[in-house]
Amino acid sequence: MRTKMSPRRAFLTAAVLSIVPTVLFFIASEKVSFYGVLIASTLINWPLIRWLDDRQWYREWKREEFR
């Protein structure tokens, strides 16, 4: 069963979701449209957030298995 998100993971997720679009916007705002920045940040963030979520799921699964 999934547990609540840890404070550390919640902070990391919030940072990733806000820092990547901000950095992309400042770097490429003159070359790429606003929607291009949103699409690029989604393509970068989605695998990263999935990886963080899979790590948490795996840790919880291992913890349950060894009880």
* Per-residue confidence (pLDDT) for residue 2, from 0 to 100: 56
| Percent of the chain's residues with pLDDT above 70 | 75
User: Each residue of 16-25: pLDDT tens digit?
Assistant: 788 888 888 8
CB 38 within 8 A of CB 20: no
* Per-residue confidence (pLDDT) for residue 9, from 0 to 100: 75
User: Which residue shows structure tokens 């806000």?
Assistant: 18
Query: In angstroms, how far is CA 40 from the centroid of its own chain?
Result: 13
pTM value is 0.53
* Per-residue confidence (pLDDT) for residue 65, from 0 to 100: 67
With 80 as the cut, is the pLDDT of residue 53 above it?
no
With 70 as the cut, is the pLDDT of residue 13 above it?
yes
